[in-house]
Structure 1
Amino acid sequence: MTTRTIPAFVNEPFTNFSLEENKQAMLAALAKVKQEIGKDIALHIGKDKVMTEDKIVSINPGNVDQVIGNVSKATKEMAERAMQVALQTFETWKKVSPRERAEFLFKAAELMRQRKHEFSALLVLESGKNWGEADADTAEAIDFIEYYAREMIRLSETNTHQPLVKIPGEDNQLSYTPLGVGVVIPPWNFPLAICVGMTTAAVVSGNTVLLKPASATPVIAHKFVALMEEVGLPAGVINFIPGSGAEVGDYLTTHPKTRFISFTGSKEVGLRINKLAAETAEGQIWIKRIVAEMGGKDGIVVDETTDLDVAAEGIVASAFGFQGQKCSAGSRAIIVESVYDQLVEKVVERTKALKNGLPEENCPVGPVIDKQAYNRILEYIEIGKSEGRLLTGGGKAEGNGYYIQPTVFADVSGKARIMQEEIFGPVLALAKAKNWKEAIDMYNDTEFGLTGSFYSQDEDRIAYALETMHCGNLYINRKCTGALVGVHPFGGFNMSGTDSKAGGHDYLLLFTQAKLTSRKI
């Protein structure tokens, strides 16, 4: 494979859909994708495409009568077969040069860029994202591919990552070698970007992967797998095995040949994976590595010195972007009492302007992902009615899907359930603090620690917030969602996971092990 001069990394631009040509291109992509949905999709186990009778039926959460795909469902026996293929493939894949592995990613990024609207259109239909959210998801996927390809090349260059102290008479080198076979379990809320990022980071590092996508969004994951096959990635490097978490997920997590598990999802599932992986299986000769991002109860703190209109925009965008279904979503805001009433009014005004509707029509607020999430969020809204003052929303919204009104509660105690528990839906809790320091203390009063924002114009207060607000990603005077690859390495503290810092210089180290070689000269 020929190599090329690698330009510096640049983030993929977002599409401006206010331009007529871009709007028409997206409409054309939606029409094209609609003609392709509803098909049966096979497992990918090495070179084999395996069609099963038992299927995962993916439906459009915004139009529940529309089937996106019927995806073959793996059994434990099929998972074992995929494991054996991945083990065998690893023996050859690990010997492929880092530069050559990166070239597969560069090709994939270019193809995805050419078909960007098609990937986004499928996201709109399968996950319920509006155009802007879907476009950002696809752009992030391209960014991950490009960034991790460059990172692998950088790490492979002798002693550039960790320059060693020189001593006379020895030649010492530090290199990064792959781990082995990993299980990749991505979430449904960023079913392209995070799936792509987790998978490409592992394979460009020289590992082989068993990819078990989220059951709500397996079709977009398959579109990515098919793309990697198209660019010539050797069969068996990525094995596509959708299936039950209780059956396939647990089986592979406890498998003695599993070297690492890369997971993004709920706290409860992440802790279960961590517990199962900690048990040493018969024949296992390593400690399994866990890379976990598990969600958050993210908050925005606002003091009296800030621009309240700017803060209101940031709060509403953080709370209701993609219906609040982001681990980074700002589901609580803590406001100093001197500007509390003013800011609450501005937040409610902006929230009421958000309209529910079909994602394919690019409505600001679409459906939540499935019936289980729908029922759970509505239960939390009922809890919120006893814990705070309902200002807007508070129930179901119209539509042939899982639509819920953007909901705001005021005067909520910091200890309330809707202030402490991750709801993962369009629900915002507002709390009042006596002063900015108490507001920061209330922000920190959570078991999570993923993202946060602090709005202030006082530099001393900002310095205090930077030091004391305990989270992996802290933003000043901007919303707490929207991390960019290479710009905002992403990952959190406490029950938010292992602080893996996806999209940063440390990430590929999680899929490699450092080997020191010393030669007397």
Structure 2
Amino acid sequence: MTLSKVTLEGLPVYRNEPFTDFAIADNRKAMVDAIAAVKAEFGRTYPLTIGGNKVYTAETIRSVNPGNVDETVGYACKASKAHAEEAMGAALTAFETWKRAGAAERSSYLLRAAKLMRERKHGFSATMILESGKNWVEADVDTAEAIDFLEFYAREAIRLSETNEHRPLVAIPGEANRVEYIPLGVGIVIPPWNFPLAICVGMTAAAIVSGNTVVLKPSSLTPVIAHRFFALMEEVGLPAGVINYLPGSGAEVGDYLTKHPQTRFISFTGSKEVGLRINRLAAETSDGQIWIKRVIAEMGGKDGIVVDETADLDAAAAAIVASAFGFQGQKCSAGSRAIIVDDVYEELVGKIVARTRELEVGLPELDFPSGPVSDPLAFDKIMEYIDIGRGEGNLLVGGHKAEGNGYYIQPTVFSEVSPKARIMQEEIFGPVLAISRAKDYKEAISIYNDTEFGLTGSYYSQDEGRIAYATQEMHCGNLYVNRKCTGALVGVHPFGGFNMSGTDSKAGGYDYLLLFTQAKLVSRKLK
């Protein structure tokens, strides 16, 4: 198939990337080998890349294995404001050519990258296991999602380019009308450390396949996996300057680029506090700026699972524990609250505690269910919240540092927590679950809604009338019924939240690329 003939009809039907079954011996061996290969590269220095030029700096960012803090995954060169200005210039130059590339050409780079990532998936996963502390399954899912984003957005870009075929305008006599989705310009992509491949890939791929060029400022906690993705895009032949790899300080480089008059959009995933700061800085017009900057933000969550007395309690307990403690609760979608009606409260809490006690904490490369949190700042913050929780509820399990040469914390459960308690209201981003009691399902849903966030939620019930009520009343961007509140799949569960959870951008959905484009109507009078 030639590039010019890439169409939706010419591509295989989209399917989500399957997860790896590590119960199969060959798959386990492949992961063990991949971890060893990544460890053999520990200590490398990764340069900035600006317009295709490799730039080494005296100051670097040390990437530490959070599961074994004696190990250095690598060193990322650290950008200054001067480097940021150079990267902006390189992106602006590349944009003049890249914006004229057709959707088929731009998509072809994503499809090639997806193919190679699929072939090397364990290497990408192993890097995350060692750099971010994910266990094998969490890392494998992260890589699969990255592949999904590449495949899905490539197809979406082609679909939008064929919009008159797929979504025709109303026809009138004497005119030919069409809508073209054209790129915005240079964007700043600021991905998080907790999904350091999937979200980094998704945000970057969406921006560039839409015809924009970007400055990619990865998290300082996970610059090595971001570089691995960037190097893959170089390998597939992406033109220089379309992506500029620029690790650096958020306060210095991030703020500088956010305020830059040539910045057209900022795509951010991270905390509420940083997201609001970016939104505020982006709203201030700089000298020479001729547009309103667009902010695409996915921020925090204080997500919860509501359970009524008709629910399957075993299924609910499994979902609550998985949602609360998957990747140590370090997901914006993590179910850090459980709200249980009084009739089944004691029984369900007992099941939650029993399942939590089964979670073993240990080194991610050995595939323990629970691993470390991200860094010492996160460790201290979470332990402070656990101390707060001792005064706000009953500590049922956990509550202490776990053994290991890393940032390990025991999965922790508090019961009888007031809906207004801090551990029920504030995002902890760690392995801490707060449980509240409600008199009935309506009060439980009211408690669920009593937060400034609105990202994910889950409702467990076997009553169709109550499910309909929850569907109407639970205010969140992603509501799940009788399943856990984490684990959104690209193309299946478009992801994004309400209120202080962000701009409800719906990553992995059919309208996501529109955020990186502007619609231009072309109307021509016919003879």
Q: What band does the TM-score fall into relative to the shorter chain? A: over 0.9
Superposed CA deviations along residues 452-475 of structure 1, whole A, max 9, x for unmatched, are 000000000000000110000000
Residue matched to 1:462 = 467
Residue matched to 2:230 = 225
| Equivalences for residues 34-433 of structure 1 within 5 A | 34-160=39-165, 162-433=167-438
Distance 2:205 2:311 in 1: 41
Which of 11, 15, 23 aligns to 2:16? It is 11
Deviation of the 1:371 alpha carbon: 0.2
Superposed CA deviations along residues 250-288 of structure 1, whole A, max 9, x for unmatched, are 000000000000000000000000000000000000000
Superposed CA deviations along residues 327-351 of structure 1, whole A, max 9, x for unmatched, are 0000000000000000000000000
Superposed CA deviations along residues 417-446 of structure 1, whole A, max 9, x for unmatched, are 000000000000000000000000000000
Distance 1:112 1:37 in 2: 21
Distance 1:502 1:478 in 2: 20
Task: Give the 3-state SS of the residue equivalent to 1:247 in structure 2.
Answer: helix
Task: Give the 3-state SS of the residue equivalent to 2:504 in structure 1.
Answer: coil
Task: Give the 3-state SS of the residue equivalent to 1:44 in structure 2.
Answer: strand
Superposed CA deviations along residues 175-212 of structure 1, whole A, max 9, x for unmatched, are 10000000000000000000000000000000000000
Q: Which moved more, 1:252-261 or 1:160-169?
A: 160-169
Superposed CA deviations along residues 272-329 of structure 1, whole A, max 9, x for unmatched, are 0000000000000000000000010000000000110000000000000000000000
Distance 1:389 1:7 in 2: 53
Gap change, CA 1:351 and 1:158, over 3 Å in 2: closer
Deviation of the 1:159 alpha carbon: 1.6
Task: Give the 3-state SS of the residue equivalent to 1:64 in structure 2.
Answer: coil
Gap change, CA 1:283 and 1:162, over 3 Å in 2: farther
Report the residue type matching 2:13 in the other structure: A
Deviation of the 1:37 alpha carbon: 1.9
Distance 2:419 2:166 in 1: 44
Distance 2:305 2:46 in 1: 42
User: TM-score under structure 1 normalisation?
Assistant: 0.99
Report the residue type matching 1:185 in the other structure: I
Task: Give the 3-state SS of the residue equivalent to 2:453 in structure 1.
Answer: coil
Deviation of the 1:7 alpha carbon: 1.2
Superposed CA deviations along residues 32-82 of structure 1, whole A, max 9, x for unmatched, are 111112101100101200000100000000000000011000000000001
Distance 1:405 1:332 in 2: 17
Distance 1:342 1:98 in 2: 55
Distance 1:206 1:290 in 2: 17
Distance 2:446 2:45 in 1: 52
Gap change, CA 1:119 and 1:319, over 3 Å in 2: same
User: 4+ runs of 1 displaced by more than 6 Å?
Assistant: none
Task: Give the 3-state SS of the residue equivalent to 1:220 in structure 2.
Answer: helix
Task: Give the 3-state SS of the residue equivalent to 2:346 in structure 1.
Answer: helix
Deviation of the 1:395 alpha carbon: 1.0
Report the residue type matching 2:355 in the other structure: R
Distance 1:313 1:174 in 2: 48
Distance 1:14 1:458 in 2: 32
Residue matched to 1:483 = 488
Distance 1:380 1:161 in 2: 51
Distance 2:255 2:13 in 1: 40
Task: Give the 3-state SS of the residue equivalent to 1:85 in structure 2.
Answer: helix
Task: Give the 3-state SS of the residue equivalent to 2:23 in structure 1.
Answer: coil
Distance 2:311 2:111 in 1: 43
User: Which 5+ residue runs of structure 1 have no aligned equivalent?
Assistant: none
Report the number of matched residues.
521
Identity between Structure 1 and Structure 2 (%): 72
Residue matched to 1:21 = 26
Distance 2:208 2:165 in 1: 21
**Cα RMSD (Å) of the superposition?**
0.7
User: Which 5+ residue runs of structure 2 have no aligned equivalent?
Assistant: none
Contact 1:159-1:175 within 8 A present in 2 as well: no
